[in-house]
Amino acid sequence: MQLTKIRNIEGFGKDETSGAVLSVDQTSLIAYKQKKKKSLAVITEINTMKEQHLEISHDINIMKQELKEMKELITQFLSSHKG
């Protein structure tokens, strides 16, 4: 691929084979890659937090069910030992 500079436009070149205008600005490319890497890290962190939230919700639901069962047992015990 051979690029020709485009007059009066910095950071771009024209591919003579395909006619495509391409960015040749390495600074922008590096900045883009860094931004993308940070975005992927944030997405990973969000997904981890979602998984933790689901686990905590599940644990809370189990605890609610266990408390309900304990309440029922205490009620039965107290009812059978009245009088």
What is this structure's pTM? 0.61
Please check whether residue 41 is in contact with residue 34, taking contact to mean a CB–CB distance below 8 angstroms. Answer: no
Nearest-angstrom CA–CA distance, 73 and 75: 5
Confidence band of 7 (pLDDT split at 50, 70, 90): confident
Nearest-angstrom CA–CA distance, 33 and 27: 10
Q: Give pLDDT tens digits for 45-60.
A: 999 999 999 999 999 9
Provide CB contacts within 8 A for 6, sequence distance 6+. Answer: 12, 13, 14, 21
**Token pair recorded at residue 61:** 């639901």
At 83 the pLDDT is 62
Nearest-angstrom CA–CA distance, 5 and 19: 12
Given a cut of 70, is residue 66 above it in pLDDT?
yes
Mean pLDDT (whole number) for 57-71: 98
At 10 the pLDDT is 84
